[in-house]
């Protein structure tokens, strides 16, 4: 009887593993959207609690949150699709303008024609790359819209059914043996705190980077000549700050390069130097680890590795899974012996 029970358990486990593997194969192309939707639904639940303190009505709070989510994603998609041609077109014109100015400078220096032709070829390749980028964006747009739709629908359903899902998980955990129940409950509690900490860390660091960008650009503009649209650049840097390592570079690098090429090398150099030091290096080695260590009560090294390695290894979903997995692993290792010894 014992061997028969063992065989049944093994067969059940094998069937469960095969079903899980098959499900992962099906959803793998959309795994980024689903994982981000899980995180978003959790954050929406957190916002719901705060919002409901003011409205004191579950239906109104849910309606406001769902409407805000759909509206913000819809507005973002509209602006993206509406302006993608113009943005890339202007970028192409910018490349052509820089090419003309650089060629003019090189010709004034009486450099060999073959060298100037090589420079022209480089800019031509850049222009072709821009055109190919437009085509790739347009061809990948349907896939991107599917990802957005999956993210949106999954976020809304998980947010609406969060209470049922939590109750179902608690029921499953309650039926487990004491040791397993304590371990899983400990992981769930840790995940809850980590999600809140990661979210607040990103918000605080984004705010710091936005303020630092605005202050730095205002000072550089005061030392040289005024820089237009500083609030816009600051907001863009703050929004893009959710992507570690490359976020700020995507904003300040083209801005600095533009001024460096267009007869204002001092301003361009100052923007690049300030961006590299204050908006690139300091956030990753100082701001994010320090803020994360305070919000999550963890060592800054774990926060640093989690936020850096996560996106590099796992892509966009690594922003969440990087720090989450490292902190959960540490918590499990430190608490496992204690949890098991308690049950004994």
Q: Quick: pLDDT tens for 77-101.
A: 776 666 666 656 656 666 666 667 6
Task: Report yes or no: 320 and 198 within 8 Å, Cβ to Cβ.
Answer: yes
Is the pLDDT at 263 greater than 80? The verdict is: no
| Pairwise CA distance, residues 314 & 312, whole Å | 6
All structural domains of the chain with their residue ranges:
28-175, 176-344
- Per-residue pLDDT, averaged over 323-337, amounts to 75
Q: What is the DSSP secondary-structure string of 75-99? A: HHHHHHHHHHHHHHHHHHHHHHHHH
| Pairwise CA distance, residues 71 & 156, whole Å | 13
Side-chain-side CA neighbours of residue 214 (13 Å): 12
234 vs 341: which has the higher pLDDT: 234
Is the pLDDT at 41 greater than 80? The verdict is: yes
| CA distances (Å), origin 26, targets 21, 22, 31, 38, 147 | 9, 6, 9, 17, 14
Give Cα 301 distance to the centre of its chain. 20
* Candidate from 5-14, 228-237, 310-319, 323-332 with smallest mean pLDDT: 5-14
| Pairwise CA distance, residues 151 & 97, whole Å | 40
Is the pLDDT at 342 greater than 70? The verdict is: no
Q: Quick: pLDDT tens for 95-151.
A: 666 667 677 776 777 767 777 777 777 767 766 666 666 666 666 677 778 888 888
Give Cα 184 distance to the centre of its chain. 27
Is the pLDDT at 1 greater than 50? The verdict is: no
Calculate the average pLDDT of the chain. 77
| Pairwise CA distance, residues 107 & 280, whole Å | 36
| Pairwise CA distance, residues 238 & 208, whole Å | 8
- Name the residue among 265, 269, 308, 256 with its Cα closest to residue 287: 308
């Amino acid at each position: 009887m014992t061997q028969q029970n063992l065989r049944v358990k093994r067969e059940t486990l094998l069937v469960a593993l095969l079903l899980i593997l098959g499900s992962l194969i099906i959803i793998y192309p959309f795994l980024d959207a689903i994982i981000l939707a899980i995180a978003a639904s959790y954050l929406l639940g957190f916002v719901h609690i705060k919002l409901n303190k003011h409205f004191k009505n579950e239906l109104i709070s849910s309606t406001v949150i769902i409407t805000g989510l759909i509206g913000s994603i819809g507005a973002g998609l509209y602006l993206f699709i509406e302006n993608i041609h113009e943005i890339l077109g202007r970028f192409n014109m910018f490349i052509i303008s820089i090419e003309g100015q650089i060629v003019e400078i090189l010709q004034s220096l009486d450099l060999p024609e073959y060298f100037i032709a090589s420079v022209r070829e480089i800019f031509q390749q850049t222009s072709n790359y821009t055109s190919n980028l437009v085509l790739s964006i347009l061809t990948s747009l349907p896939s991107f819209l599917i990802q957005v739709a999956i993210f949106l629908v999954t976020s809304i359903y998980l947010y609406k059914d969060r209470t049922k899902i939590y109750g179902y998980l608690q029921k499953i955990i309650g039926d487990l043996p004491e040791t397993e129940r304590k371990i899983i409950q400990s992981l769930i509690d840790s995940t809850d705190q980590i999600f809140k900490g990661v979210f607040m860390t990103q918000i605080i660091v984004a705010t710091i980077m936005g303020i630092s960008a605005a202050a730095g650009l205002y000072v550089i503009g005061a030392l040289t000549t005024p820089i237009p649209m500083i609030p816009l650049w600051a907001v863009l840097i703050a929004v893009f700050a959710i992507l570690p390592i490359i976020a700020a570079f995507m904003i300040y690098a083209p801005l600095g390069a533009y001024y460096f090429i267009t007869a204002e090398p001092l301003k361009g150099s100052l923007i690049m130097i300030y961006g590299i030091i204050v908006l690139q290096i300091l956030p990753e080695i100082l701001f994010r680890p320090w803020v994360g260590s305070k919000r999550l009560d963890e060592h800054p090294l774990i926060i640093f590795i989690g936020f850096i390695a996560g996106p590099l290894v796992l892509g966009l979903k690594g922003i969440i899974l990087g720090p989450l997995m490292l902190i959960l692993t540490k918590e499990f290792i430190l608490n496992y012996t204690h949890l098991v010894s308690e049950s004994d």
